[in-house]
Amino acid sequence: MAGKFELKKSKNDKFFFSLLAGNGQTILSSEMYEAKANAVNGIESVKKNAAEAGRFDKLTGKDGSPYFTLKAGNGQVVGQSQMYSSEATRDAGIASVMANAPGSAVDDQTA
């Protein structure tokens, strides 16, 4: 089963998206956007930039948990992962984003 982007609207009328792996697990989440068009542009940016390993930053949270962010060509963060239990699982998450994002369909749940 292929991955997909879910585009949603929050309770405070902002838009956001998540990239889900084929198993339905969220592997990347966006920031909140004021306009739906900006969220859609964010999805396109993830699709484009996920193919480049150099766009991923491997980071460590305050509690020591590894996570990653994906940046666009302009350096802006377009997605962030969950916190992982190890660097190996974080790296597997990056590989999953690289594999899933470019060809994933968008499930628009805002209507």
Query: How far is residue 29 from each of residues 67, 87, measured CA to CA in Å?
Result: 12, 19
| Cβ pair 78, 71 in contact under 8 A | yes
**pLDDT tens, position by position, for the chain (111 residues)?**
579 999 999 999 999 999 999 899 999 999 999 999 999 999 999 999 999 999 999 999 999 999 999 999 999 999 999 999 999 999 999 999 999 999 999 999 997
Give the bridge partners for 18, in sequence order. 6, 29
Task: Report CA Rg, the chain.
Answer: 13
DSSP category for residue 14: -
CA 89/CA 97 separation, integer angstroms: 12
